[in-house]
Amino acid sequence: MTELRWYNKAPVIFLEGIDDRDKAESLIKAILLVHADTTILPNESDAWYDHQLVGLKVYRDGKEAGEVIRVDHMPSQDMLIVKSGETEILVPFVKAIVPEVDIKAGKVIVTPPLGLFEEIEE
């Protein structure tokens, strides 16, 4: 990779040896493999990579409510997809609903509005 630019909020990369439109178009939908240390967290204190969130236990009111199985990036906001029993719950990944993410402890704390999760039995 020789350069990275942002165009209409999307990353555009320039690759060595790809110097015309025909060569670039031949790479449309190509899979890009990047070797990276998956244990390193982003520089921001409230940013995480998707693979670091998948597998975290989700807690609500001090009780385990499920597990993050994937992160979906929607136009309006990111969503944590939480498996709770046999149900997949789409949890808006916003500070008001997900106030705490602790990668090292393996947990996510949620404070969802009523009705987002089934009621946890006492």
- Give domain limits for the chain: 50-110
From CA 54, how far away is CA 2, in angstroms rounded? 31
CATH hierarchy code of domain 50-110:
2.30.30.240
Helix or strand (DSSP H, E) at 21? helix 21-25
Give average pLDDT by consecutive 10-residue segment, the chain, 122 residues: 86 89 90 76 79 95 95 94 93 96 95 78 51
Residue 61 zone, left/alpha/beta (φ > 0; ψ -120 to 50; rest): left
pLDDT for res 8: 86
Residue 114 has phi, psi (to 5 degrees) of -55, 135
Question: Counting Cβ atoms within 10 Å, is residue 97 exposed (0-12), middle (13-18) or buried (19+)?
Answer: middle
From CA 117, how far away is CA 65, in angstroms rounded? 8
User: Would the pTM count as exceeding 0.95?
Assistant: no
